């Protein structure tokens, strides 16, 4: 069994058509036994991305409601949500001192690293980090995670 950590820039592609969406949707569909991890902070970020599109009128209220409902349902059933524990926050603080990361990005990376360590102890050695943010992917690779960017597959 494999595992994937998705940051908000990757997850939003599952719900809104943009560069990399087709690849991400196919990846998830073709890897239905893969464990999907994300941070609890992703809920705020993805909701914000949907709301921004609604404000910009690229999403109707009806589409916003449908996307929000689908995403919230997936948060309950499809994603393993990692809470921002004190350990993760402390690790994120360390990461921002070593990498040019924004706060939420550091929290994503710290969450992914914690998930990877837990999975390694459980015998699941393979975990990829998916993000559309090259800077975040670079930091994740330096920290020893396998990375991929859905935007590389338009």
Query: What tens digit of pLDDT does each residue of 40-83 get?
Result: 999 999 999 999 999 999 999 999 999 999 999 999 999 999 99
Distances, alpha carbon 144 to alpha carbons 49, 78, 125, 128, in Å: 29, 25, 12, 10
CATH 3.40.640.10 correct for 3-49+79-152: no
Domain ranges in the chain are 3-49+79-152
- pLDDT tens, position by position, 104-118: 999 999 999 999 999
Per-residue pLDDT at 1 exceeds 70: no
pLDDT band at 136 (very low <50, low <70, confident <90, very high): very high
Q: Which of 2, 24, 30 is nearest to 11 (CA)?
A: 24
**What is residue 117's three-state secondary structure?**
helix
* Average pLDDT of span 138-143: 98
């Amino acid at each position: 069994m494999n595992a994937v950590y998705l940051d908000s820039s990757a997850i939003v592609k599952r719900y809104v058509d943009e560069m990399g969406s087709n690849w991400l949707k196919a990846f998830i569909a073709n890897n239905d036994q893969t464990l999907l991890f994300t941070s609890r902070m992703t809920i705020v970020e993805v909701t914000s991305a949907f709301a921004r599109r609604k404000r910009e009128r690229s999403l109707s209220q009806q589409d916003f409601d449908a996307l929000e409902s689908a995403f919230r349902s997936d948060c309950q059933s499809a994603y393993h949500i990692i809470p921002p524990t004190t350990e993760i926050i402390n690790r994120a603080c360390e990461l921002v001192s070593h990498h040019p990361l924004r706060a939420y990005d550091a929290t994503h990376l710290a969450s992914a690293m914690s998930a990877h360590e837990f999975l390694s102890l459980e015998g699941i050695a393979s975990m990829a980090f998916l993000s559309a943010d090259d800077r975040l992917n670079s930091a994740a690779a330096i920290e020893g995670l396998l990375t991929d960017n859905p935007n590389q597959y338009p």
